[in-house]
Structure 1
Amino acid sequence: MTSPAPSTRWRVRTLASAAVLAIVVTAVTASLSGAVEATALSDPGALVRWGLPVTDLLVTTAATVTMGALTLAAFVLPQRQVPGAGRGRSGGARAPRGPRVRPDGAAWPIAQRTAAAASVVWTLGVGVQLVLTYAQVAGRAPTEPGFTAELELFLTRIELGQAGLWALALTAVTALAAVATASAAGAAWSVVAGAVAFIPVAASGHAAGAADHILAVGALYLHLIPVTMWIGGLVVLMIVSPRIGRDVRSAASRYSAIAAWSLALVVVSGVASATVRLAGPSDLLTPYGALLIGKALLTLALGLLGLWHRRRTIPRLADGASALFWRLIAVEVLVAAAVIGMATTLSSTPPPVPEIPLEAPSPGELITGYPVPVQPTAFGWAFFVRPDVLVLAGIGSAAVMLVRWCLRLRRRGDAWPWLRVAWGLLGLGVLAWVTSGGAAVYGMILFSAHMVQHMLLVMLIPIFLVLAAPVTLALRALPGRQDGSLGPRELMLAVVHSRLAAFFGNPVIAAINVVLSMFVFYFTPLFQYSLSNHLVHLWMIVHFTLTGYLFVNALIGIDPGPTRPGYPIRLLLLFATMGFHAFFGLFIAQSTSLIAAPWFGALGLPWGVDALADQQLGGYYAWAFGEVPSLVLAVALGIAWIRDDERTAIRLDRAAARDGEADLAAYNAMLARMAGGGTAGETDDGRSPRDNPTQETR
């Protein structure tokens, strides 16, 4: 049944009211917080002081609408289907017969055009924002002589300007992708491009220079992506409402799931950001703290409205009861406008915690950006924490999904072993400790500790994840889409069936990748980049965990992948990998030159560490941590081989019982012909083997 959409006049009035509300909230909060007050020295003028918040609001709004529209086009709204055309490449899964539910699809082009227009405004706004940002930082009006030359120097030589220039370039790429999007798959890639464009924004935001730089940047980035997808999707739902037609209930349900996950991530990232930006409860009484409280309360209100949607209005859409649904959407859009206004002012208001450089920092603090921990102890390894909020958010989400998928299967009456879920949770727990626990704390200053991290990532954690069989569990638990749109199951199938997965999942390629990656990583500048650049560090975590997973899955896994070779070949690949691991570890253990010397050789740790001796110890760790899990895998492969032979023997015995041992008789006949030259199907005495089934072969 098609639910009546709100009238055009009502929709335009709601969106216009939201725009006015966002401007008013920005102006009022900027005035009260002092963000637009004239400075005593080097004041750039009222045009810059007020123009920058207005431009920030424009950029924030355009980015939010862009990400929301792309999210709806990629994962929520179906495209109009041509009869007999099937799902094509945009569906991501193999479905040659086409969708079984014919969607309306009229809202999809509106979402795509909205994303294209908003992304262009986003790009232009970032360009204006760059100019006004320099004017404010330098205290210079853009009309003053020499401003253009100074701006060029700011964009090419100063870190803040370089980050802004990167943001402009990446936003332009997102705009090109959004304009060219013609399918759900294209919209999904555009979402990825937009997420990448937020990286320099997060890296240059407030508290990026705080004591816990990684936590501050990660929390801000984790905040930006879900909040733009959530609030932007809400606004775009209102924009496409006249054409959504009979797709309204499925679109509302899918968007509700995205909003629920986004709310959870926004809360987690908001709490993490507050721990960096606020020194204590008293800071909540500052203008920054008041803005933070106001934004948090409005976000909570949005969450409660979304919960009401999920519980009350969405289930009633099938009956055509959409009036209340759209009224609540309108209220949410207005509340979201106020959130955007407060967020704009908050981004330009200095936090209470001053970003004061450390006085006389030690070499270790200067290089790593963190206080040097005490000498390693068992307690420190077990309980020291340096949270990486991006990785922890991913780990927490994966743990929740594993449990939910298992419960969903069991409610459906399907069996899934809890032991597999336990293996997965154990692997995720070890991953959390490796990336945010004592191993992460000491891994930045000791090569040996870093090698423990690396070996656990590539050799131990993948075993636990493979035993959990997460891909198989997901494909069994996740529902498929019936209207040709992209859902989680379709995305997973697209990855599993991709040529890239087939190539890197090949057992031989996976084994080569495990070995070659270590040599390339440690004997090129990549290793030192991973210590000094958090993006490269995150790449290291993902790459080596995924590499290990593909290798172990090719040996003992049940998750989908390329055809696995026989057990002898698998054992050969495993033993070859063990040999290379041993060679790699011993090579480092016997090396007399320091790897990443500008880092480990200059830390000046107060407890007197010989960096070269510690590196050699790390080599022995690589040898030991590589061999022990490999031996466990060898034992597991041997057991699986024996069980496979037993199953094969049982199957052959059953087949022989059904056909009267026809295969054995044929084999005896073949041997008889080879020995005596008998005719086909006869033994030496000329009789058929079936006449004398007990005759022995020669």
Structure 2
Amino acid sequence: MLRSVRVLGPAVLLAVALIATLAGLGYGGGASPLPIQDPGPVVRWGLPVAKLVVNLGAAGMIGALVLAVWALSPKRREFDVALDVAAASAAVLTVAGGATTIFTFLIVTGAPFELSEAFGQRLGQFVTEIELGQAWLTTTLVAAAVSVLCFAVRNPTALVFVTVLAAAALVPMAQQGHAAGAAGHDAAITSLGLHLVFVSAWLGGLVTIVLLRRELDAERLPVVLARYSTVALVSFIVVALSGYASAALRIGTWQELGTPYGVLVVVKVAALIAIGLFGAVLRRFVIGRMSRAGEGLETRPRSAGAPRPAGVVGAFWILVVAELAFMGIASGVATALARTATPVSEDPGSLARTPAEILTGESLPPWPDWWRYFTEWSPDLIWLLVCGFGIFFYVAGVVRLRRRGDAWPVYRTVLWVSGLVVLAYITSGGVNVYEGYLFSAHMGAHMALTMAVPVLLVPGAPVTLAARAIHPRKDGSRGGREWILIAVHSRYAAVIANPIVAAALFASSLWIFYYTPLFRWAMIDHLGHEWMIVHFLITGYLFVQSLIGIDPVPYRLPYPFRLVLLLGTMALHAFFGLAIMSGTGLLLAEWYGAMGWGTDALADQQVGGGIAWSVGEIPTVALAITVAMQWARSDEKESRRLDRHADRTGDAELDEYNARLAAIAEHDRQG
């Protein structure tokens, strides 16, 4: 069993996934003949199989990279083997991506495959000019780049960027999935993207551990498994929530669960629940027993007559193979779902009734009375998960400190939780509903992201808490504490955390964003919208951190200069608001000026300028008061320090000073 598990585990995964894919296609009709320009059974069945290989290749690539940067030590051979697995998986993804591109071209055009110059020209036009072809070409090229980088890069810090690039290979797939052009477009992209990335980390990480069996001895295996189980638990939560969001968009009502698409969703949910139960058993029972008993993949010699420690080990590998089998079911069914017709129509043309719906792809929300901002919701799953995990891990760190007798101020926890709650509301509440239609709502969200949320988050001192609460690694690998400290103490962080640079980024971002094509990108593209949130949040956090931050930074200005920097920066901020208020030209007129609500878009833009000018003053006053209070406390601490020093030395410095004055006076008298 132990010797064959490296072959048995992946073989079971592949076989079960292929069977589940074919069965799901047959049941859901995903490979049925097309009514017009049917490409033939080879293409109809070959495309889903190629996509299955794409998904498995992406899983091996991302899972191995995540395991390498999170759980494995660069000082051990396990690290190099994991990168070899990632490189091989990326190569598989590259080949499967190329095959999927060709199959997609054949099924879209209905043209027969042939080795001719004309066919090559049409295929080249498909991958360079058509959005669907461009998406698959991007995925294929990125996978090829990752395959090369996994061989060339062995530095753990650089591998983080390779991992991000690997995850980016799935973005085009998410943008071309089900409901990409229907109502709920942004939510569909978000949920599918999260689903693909975290399923890959979950499945690929387990497969990598199986392939690393020879490199993980009895003591090392429980350590790596414990670290992987954290990744698996987070992935399970994200996959469950994103899967629910995707199913809700595509199914619509509970009655539609009886459709072929709904039945396949139920099968996939059942498989994921089974996988979650396997993971819970592994985390709660098996890993703990292996760690305590020193059992695992036993390679050390045994004395004569000693029993072979195969109880926990055998149970562990049986559970792993069974979990891979259910992962194969989930992967195969998911591949079949991608080719199965959804109960909810995905035709965007049925929604194009008003100019606003043509621009946004969404039905118009109710008229924005003030109370609508607190009753309407448009959840952004990415930021709901960020806020939820941020609150959980912060509170878990505080609890860990208190259990070992260390103190942590309550106000820091309250401010941190409040900041993330406000962030969740801004990104998923009524403001998020209306910011795509009204410039004033958009500017309100901007002010909250750059000023209100950072003013609450910065005093929470998350870096200090992480450095104190997270256990350090001693095997050369990098966990949460190590990665946070590396990021904080990097040269890049030293530059952008400089108070002058942070203030310049904070002030210039306003003018650059709204008076360049970045504004348009953030409104028409969901990726641009997410980038906008990240950028404004980071620039605001860095600026507030330079003024009142508790976490360590390379350099801090003296308190008087902090007040000067605050007033100067906010003066530029106020000038921006006044420029918007007094402007006679409409920003992004093809968007806000074409919504068709019958409102005066220029007047609404001037209201947004007033929000930028006036609402920003409230956090400014709070920051000024906080800087003044910290200044007073610093002077008080310095006075107490000098008093304690004087008590210890018996006012030696004062006596010496008085003696020096007396000597000077005597010298003057004698002269």
* Class of the TM-score when normalised by the shorter of the 2 chains: over 0.9
Query: Which residue pairs with 2:279 in the alignment?
Result: 306
Point out the more displaced range, 150-159 or 231-240: 150-159
CA contact (8 A) 2:573 2:613 kept: yes
Among 459, 466, 488, the residue aligned to 1:496:
488
Query: Deviations 1:90-144 (Å, cap 9, x if unpaired)?
Result: xxxxxxxxxxxxxxx2322221111111111111110110110111112222228
For the Cα contact (< 8 Å) 1:75–1:184, is it kept in 2? no
How do 1:176-255 and structure 2 match up within 5 A?
176-245=148-217, 246-255=219-228
Structure 1 window deviating more from structure 2 (156-165 vs 380-389): it is 156-165
1:256 aligned partner, one-letter code: S
Structure-1 residue corresponding to 2:443: 451
Distance 1:473 1:56, change over 3 A: same
Query: Alpha-carbon deviation of 1:259?
Result: 0.4
Query: Matched residues in 1 for 2:569 and 2:158: separation?
Result: 39
> Partner of 1:70 in structure 2?
65
45, 48, 51: which one aligns with 2:43: 48
Q: How many angstroms apart in 2 are the aligned matches of 1:631 and 1:481? A: 42
Cα distance in 1 between the residues matched to 2:17 and 2:355: 47
Distance 1:308 1:290 in 2: 27
Whether the 8 Å CA contact 1:177–1:186 is kept in 2: the answer is no
Is the aligned partner of 1:109 residue 2:99? no
Q: SS where residue 427 of structure 2 aligns? A: helix
Which residue among 337, 345, 348 is the counterpart of 1:346?
337
Q: 1:674 to 1:529 in 2, by over 3 A?
A: farther
| Cα distance, 1:654 vs structure 2 | 1.8
Answer yes or no: is the 8 Å Cα contact 1:211–1:369 preserved in 2: yes
Amino acid in the other structure paired with 1:313: V
Q: Given that residues 9 and 321 in structure 2 are in contact (C-alpha distance below 8 angstroms), is that contact kept between their aligned partners in structure 1?
A: yes
Report deviation, 1:375. Answer: 2.6
Residue 555 (structure 2) aligns with:
563
Equivalent runs, 1:373-392 vs 2, <5 Å: 373-392=365-384
The answer for the alignment partner of 1:537 in structure 2 is 529
- Find the aligned partners of 1:110 and 1:39 in 2 and give their Cα distance: 45
Identity %: 42
Cα distance between partner residues in 1 of 2:660 and 2:344: 88
Aligned residue in 2 for 1:681: none
User: Equivalent residue for 1:100?
Assistant: none
- Relative to structure 1, the CA distance from residue 668 to residue 268 in structure 2 (aligned partners, 3 Å threshold; closer, same or farther) is same
1:549 to 521, 533, 541: 541
2-side partners of 1:354 and 1:138: how far apart?
A: 22
- Name the counterpart of 2:21: 26
- How big is the shift at 1:651? 1.4
Choose which of 445, 455, 468 in structure 2 pairs with 1:476.
468
**Inter-CA distance 107–572: structure 2 relative to 1 (3 Å threshold):** same
Letter matched to residue 619 of structure 1: G
**C-alpha distance in structure 2 between counterparts of 1:449 and 1:14, whole Å:** 52
Letter in structure 2 aligned against 1:13: L
- Distance in 2 between the 1:162 and 1:11 partners? 37
* Cα distance between partner residues in 2 of 1:520 and 1:259: 40
TM-score normalised by L of structure 1? 0.90
2-structure distance, mates of 1:269, 1:656:
63
Distance in 2 between residues matched to 1:371 and 1:455, nearest whole Å: 26
- Cα distance in 2 between the residues matched to 1:40 and 1:170: 35
Cα distance in 2 for partners of 1:277, 1:50 equals: 23
User: Which amino acid counterpart does residue 434 of structure 1 have in structure 2?
Assistant: I
The alpha-carbon deviation at position 672 of structure 1 amounts to 5.4
- Pairs within 5 Å for 1:658-677: 658-671=648-661, 677=667
* Greater CA drift, 265-274 or 33-42: 33-42
Q: 2:94 aligns with which of 113, 119, 123?
A: 123
- Where do 5+ consecutive residues of structure 2 fail to align? 296-311
Deviations 1:353-387 (A, max 9, x none): 11122255211111122222233212211111111
CA offset at residue 158 of structure 1?
1.9
Provide the residue aligned with 2:258 in structure 1: 285
User: Are the counterparts in 1 of residues 183 and 351 from structure 2 also a CA contact under 8 Å?
Assistant: no
Please list every run of 5 or more consecutive structure 1 residues that lacks an aligned counterpart in the other structure.
Answer: 1-5, 81-104, 679-683, 687-698
Residue in structure 1 matched with residue 385 of structure 2 by the alignment: 393
1:614 aligns with 2:609: no
- Show the counterpart of 1:431: 423
Aligned length: 650
> C-alpha distance in 1, partners of 2:432/2:397?
30
Tell me the CA shift for residue 490 of structure 1.
0.8
Match of 1:696 in 2: none
Please give the alpha-carbon distance, in whole angstroms, between the structure 2 residues aligned to 1:138 and 1:601.
38
Q: Is the contact made by 1:115 and 1:179 (CA closer than 8 Å) also made in structure 2?
A: no
> 2-side partners of 1:486 and 1:220: how far apart?
29
Distance 2:588 2:35 in 1: 47
Q: Partner residue of 2:640? A: 650
Answering whether residue 567 of structure 2 is matched by residue 596 of structure 1, we say no
What is the match of residue 141 of structure 1?
112
Displacement of 1:574: 0.8
CA distance in 2, matches of 1:60, 1:216: 18
Q: What displacement does 1:503 show?
A: 0.7
Normalising to structure 2: TM-score of the pair? 0.94
> Deviations along 1:541-564, whole A, 9 cap, x unmatched?
111111111111111111121221
- Corresponding residue for 2:270? 297
For residue 336 of structure 1, the aligned residue among 314, 327, 340 is 327
Shift in CA distance, 514/665, structure 1 to aligned 2, threshold 3 Å: same
Judge conservation of contact 2:17–2:329 (CA < 8 Å) in 1. Answer: yes
2: CA distance, partners of 1:186 / 1:348: 37
> 1:423 touches 1:467 (CA, 8 Å); kept in 2?
yes
In the aligned structure 1, how far is the partner of 2:670 from the partner of 2:412?
Answer: 59
Deviates more, 1:419-428 or 1:456-465: 419-428
Instruction: Describe the SS at the equivalent of 1:552.
Output: helix
Counterpart-to-counterpart distance in 2, 1:39 and 1:640? 71
